[in-house]
Amino acid sequence: MSYERKMLEQFAMPTQIEVEQALLRALLKHGGVIKEFGSGQEIVDEIANEFGLNKSQRSAFLETIYRKENRVKKSLLWHRLLFRAADALARNNLVTCPTQTFQLTKKREWLLTEKGFDDSLKLCKIPNARKEFLPTKSFEVQKIVKKLNESRRTEDYDPFDKDKKTVKTTRESTLRTRGFRQAVIEAYSCKCAVCGLKVSSPDTLSWEVEAAHIVPHRYKGRDDIFNGIALCRFHHWAFDAGWFTLQDDCKIQTSPLISRLPFDCGKIEGYDFFQALTKTGLKLRFPDRLEVRPHQNAIRWHRQNVFPRP
Ligand SMILES: [Zn+2]
């Protein structure tokens, strides 16, 4: 029996398979990514807490003797076990290792792959049908997000994707939709661009805010950041229904038809939905990065086609 195995047994450490599964659950809980392990990192303690490891289990050292160099290297047994588990996940293509993730995101993190995402959902007993709506990062989706974030903004931007299939059938189109959602929601820091609402599900896996297409999907509107805007469900509906649009300076323009609504429309207790929307000069809360804001060509199309003419 190897020295390491003997130590694992002596300290009654969890098995590698158990740690692999705990890592997959932790990855899902943390949006698909966890930082490279190091001492004092929250994730290292979080998983140790999950197993109820005691002080000696957390602080047991492995000693490796390098005879040639005449030195002894000490490493924590718990860290070694975590690393071996994460490394096994990477070898099975369930996560990408920090060096591989770094090439894509410039962050040294373990990142779920689509295969790992599926496995983590199964482990957490979350139905696969929910997958499409979770903003969980995966290597494949992050590749799309990166491409969207880096796409060049041009004056003659065409918000229509003529080759787009409006019925989603392929794995590629599903990944693309998730990449679109993630890029838009992240650009707006998970907040509605109109009211600023930011709220997650109780399990913190998903956000209330949605990535709205400015030129809608059914008109073959592009799944890219220039044709997207993050809106809460209320404002998403009102935008699609044509209760408001945007002016060229990105101020909100509300429909004149609001004045014809019956008195009791759009009221929630003391809150008046339409009055809040018509506040003069209400501007959208856009991302700081100018290059990810909606494109004028998409906004103009919405104003001319979805917004009713007076
Ligand atoms: Zn809102």
**pLDDT single digits (tens) 89-103:** 999 999 999 999 999
Distance from Cα 165 to the centre of ligand 1, integer Å: 29
Distance from Cα 235 to the centre of ligand 1, integer Å: 5
* Residue 107 DSSP one-character state: S
Distance from Cα 195 to the centre of ligand 1, integer Å: 4
Alpha-carbon distance 289 to 299, whole Å?
Answer: 18
At 40 the pLDDT is: 61
Return the higher-pLDDT residue of 24 and 263.
24
**Residue ranges covered by each domain of the chain:** 3-128, 143-151+160-305
Return the higher-pLDDT residue of 178 and 166.
178
Minimum mean pLDDT range among 109-123, 203-217, 267-281: 267-281
Return the percentage of the chain with pLDDT > 70, whole number: 97
Distance from Cα 279 to the centre of ligand 1, integer Å: 14
Distance from Cα 198 to the centre of ligand 1, integer Å: 9
Minimum mean pLDDT range among 116-120, 263-267, 277-281: 277-281
Residue 81 confidence class, pLDDT cut points 50, 70, 90: very high
- Pinpoint the alpha helices (H) of 71-138: 77-91, 98-105, 114-123
Given a cut of 90, whether residue 212 has pLDDT beyond it is: yes
Residue 281 confidence class, pLDDT cut points 50, 70, 90: low
Distance from Cα 189 to the centre of ligand 1, integer Å: 13
Return the percentage of the chain with pLDDT > 90, whole number: 65
The CATH label, of 1.10.10, 3.40.50, 2.40.50, 1.10.3720, for the domain at 3-128 is: 1.10.10
Distance from Cα 232 to the centre of ligand 1, integer Å: 4
Distance from Cα 29 to the centre of ligand 1, integer Å: 26
Distance from Cα 260 to the centre of ligand 1, integer Å: 22
Distance from Cα 164 to the centre of ligand 1, integer Å: 28
- Average pLDDT over all residues of the chain: 90
Distance from Cα 127 to the centre of ligand 1, integer Å: 28
**All residues at 6 or more sequence positions from 103 whose CB lies less than 8 Å from its CB, including other chains:** none
Distance from Cα 277 to the centre of ligand 1, integer Å: 10
Distance from Cα 204 to the centre of ligand 1, integer Å: 19
Please spell the DSSP secondary structure of 209-257, one letter per residue: -EEEESS-GGGTB-SSGGGEEEE-HHHHHHHHHTSEEE-TT-BEEE-GG
Half-sphere exposure of 237 (CA within 13 A, CB side): 5
Residue 204 confidence class, pLDDT cut points 50, 70, 90: confident
Distance from Cα 234 to the centre of ligand 1, integer Å: 6
**Entry pTM:** 0.83
What residues are paired with 125 via a beta bridge? Answer: none
Average pLDDT over residues 227-237: 95
Return the higher-pLDDT residue of 248 and 59.
59
Distance from Cα 273 to the centre of ligand 1, integer Å: 10
Distance from Cα 283 to the centre of ligand 1, integer Å: 12
Minimum mean pLDDT range among 74-83, 109-118, 219-228, 271-280: 271-280
Average pLDDT over residues 176-196: 93
* Residue 261 DSSP one-character state: S
Which residue has 């600023």 as its token pair? Answer: 196
Distance from Cα 210 to the centre of ligand 1, integer Å: 10
